[in-house]
Amino acid sequence: MAVDILILSNAPGELATWVKPVVRELRAQLGDEPRISVMLSPCPNASGQEAEIALSYPEVDRVQAAEHFFSFLLWGKTADDWDWHDRGVVIFLGGDQFFPVVIGKRLGYRTVIYAEWEARWHRWIDRFGVMKSEILDRAPAQFAHKITVVGDLMAEVQTQQVASATEELIGILPGSKPAKLMQGVPLMIAIADQIKLHRPQTRFVIPVAPTLDLPDLAKYADPKQNSLVPLLGNVSGQLVGDRLETPNGLSVELWQSKTERVPMYEVLSQCCFCLTTVGANTAELGSLGIPMVVIVPTQQMDAMRAWDGIPGLLANLPGVGGWFAKQINSAMLKRLGLLAWPNIWAKEMIVPELVGELDPKEVAKFMIDYLDHPEKLAAMRDRLRQVRGEPGAAKKLVAIVAEELNLISG
């Protein structure tokens, strides 16, 4: 039976932690017969490489980039004039849950939504695979039969990565957008510089975002090209080969993936501890069970522009985005915590969030205390794994898709 499976997604995190395990499982359960397409929708956290990432998955047959999404949503036309089989399933794996309602209706396909926190549009969607039973409990009774608890797709990452930290390697994740890098690179280099003074055995690595080359990254550690360096510890960095070196002798490895574009689990899985900004990084580290400290420096309030949804879109508007970013960040910081995804999931402070005009020496001292007490890191790691749940969600979600395909064939 010739059928199409259309996956809707939007950002690097969803592609790596939701789409990747699902397309693997689709092929494992359904074989080569279904044609698998990925259609991307716009997202403020997007890197611009999403189409390339999706195409790198061997299970995927075709991909449409985000810039063509609304043309299809509104008028049903794809950039490459795709043809469609009469039968198919639309799977939602990121974006707005309203999209599969429209697209499923347009194509005449069954619709399946993976819902991490909330299931919407119960009347018009055929099936839901949800992360937790609480989503089922909140659903209207007449639609409960559509909902199946499948578990956490992001927990699949834990089964994909078997490497463990065998040495004291700290990952540094300053972000990928210029506004974050301007603060994140100099501040995190200054923090690492301090840790190295007290723990010379420690190694540091930056998994370099696929949208950056090494000279681009290094310029954010150069006070001649980044005016914020003096405000954030005043530690400069110079590119030497594939390393960033400071005058005090710190050498930070700059790691670039040779296989998959993002995220770089191969190196992250070797880290015993990470220093990161807020955003998708915290979700990915949490899914891997890697302890972290999350920092939100406020030396430049308009720098953080990676919020999801409407706040992220407003913060990135040309011209006025900086003003919106300041207002949004000021409001968000009043929450005094629960900015990192693992903390939002658990509704408690699992990983530390340090907010304010951060002093590199104080942050380093804070992190050294964890390194001096590995039992504290172990406790954080265990708690992260408890929050994300057990793997197996991809297999259960694809079983739902298979059931829907049987309904179609019948």
> Could you report the per-residue pLDDT of 221-246, keeping only the tens digit for each?
999 999 999 999 999 999 999 999 99
Residues 351 and 403 in one domain: no
Residues 371 and 398 in one domain: no
Maximum Cα–Cα distance for the chain, whole Å? 70
* 151-166 confidence digits (pLDDT tens): 888 777 655 544 445 5
Determine the pLDDT at residue 333.
Answer: 58
Q: What is the mean pLDDT of residues 161-190?
A: 82
Asked if 378 and 284 touch (Cβ cutoff 8 Å), the reply is no
Determine the pLDDT at residue 350.
Answer: 94
Residues 278 and 320 in one domain: yes
**Higher-scoring residue by pLDDT: 1, 196:** 196
* Cis peptide bond N-terminal to 230, omega within 30: no
Residues 238 and 334 in one domain: yes
Residues 167 and 136 in one domain: no
Q: Model-level pTM? A: 0.67
Place of tokens 């209207």: 140
**CA 194, CA 368: separation in Å to the nearest integer?**
10
**Higher-scoring residue by pLDDT: 265, 183:** 183
* 294-306 confidence digits (pLDDT tens): 998 886 655 555 5
Determine the pLDDT at residue 260.
Answer: 47
Residues 31 and 144 in one domain: yes
Mean pLDDT score of the chain: 86
Residues 202 and 303 in one domain: yes
178-198 vs 360-372: helix crossing angle, rounded to 10: 60
Confidence category of residue 170, pLDDT binned at 50, 70, 90: very high
Confidence category of residue 262, pLDDT binned at 50, 70, 90: very low
Q: Which domain holds residue 292?
A: 160-388
Residues 168 and 127 in one domain: no
User: Containing H/E element for 400?
Assistant: helix 393-409
Residues 289 and 364 in one domain: yes
Nearest to 274 by CA among 176, 186, 370, 180: 370
Residues 102 and 169 in one domain: no
Beta bridge partners of 349: none
Residues 126 and 140 in one domain: yes
Determine the pLDDT at residue 163.
Answer: 44
Please report, in angstroms and rounded to a whole number, the separation of the first and last CA atoms in the chain: 11
Number of domains in the chain: 2
Secondary structure of residue 277 in the 3-state scheme: coil
Instruction: Supply the CATH number for residue 81's domain.
Output: 3.40.50
* 2-34 confidence digits (pLDDT tens): 899 999 999 877 888 899 999 999 999 999 889
Confidence category of residue 288, pLDDT binned at 50, 70, 90: confident
pLDDT tops 80 at residue 400: yes
Instruction: Supply the CATH number for residue 181's domain.
Output: 3.40.50.2000
Beta bridge partners of 63: 38
At 275, the amino acid letter reads L
Asked if 228 and 186 touch (Cβ cutoff 8 Å), the reply is yes
Asked if 332 and 324 touch (Cβ cutoff 8 Å), the reply is no
Highest mean pLDDT among 39-53, 154-168, 372-386: 372-386
* 75-134 confidence digits (pLDDT tens): 999 999 999 999 999 999 999 999 999 999 999 999 999 998 889 999 999 999 998 888
Q: Which residues contact 145 (CB under 8 A, 6 or more apart)?
A: none
Residues 304 and 257 in one domain: yes
Determine the pLDDT at residue 212.
Answer: 81
Question: E-strand spans in 319-366?
Answer: 353-356
User: Containing H/E element for 39?
Assistant: strand 35-40
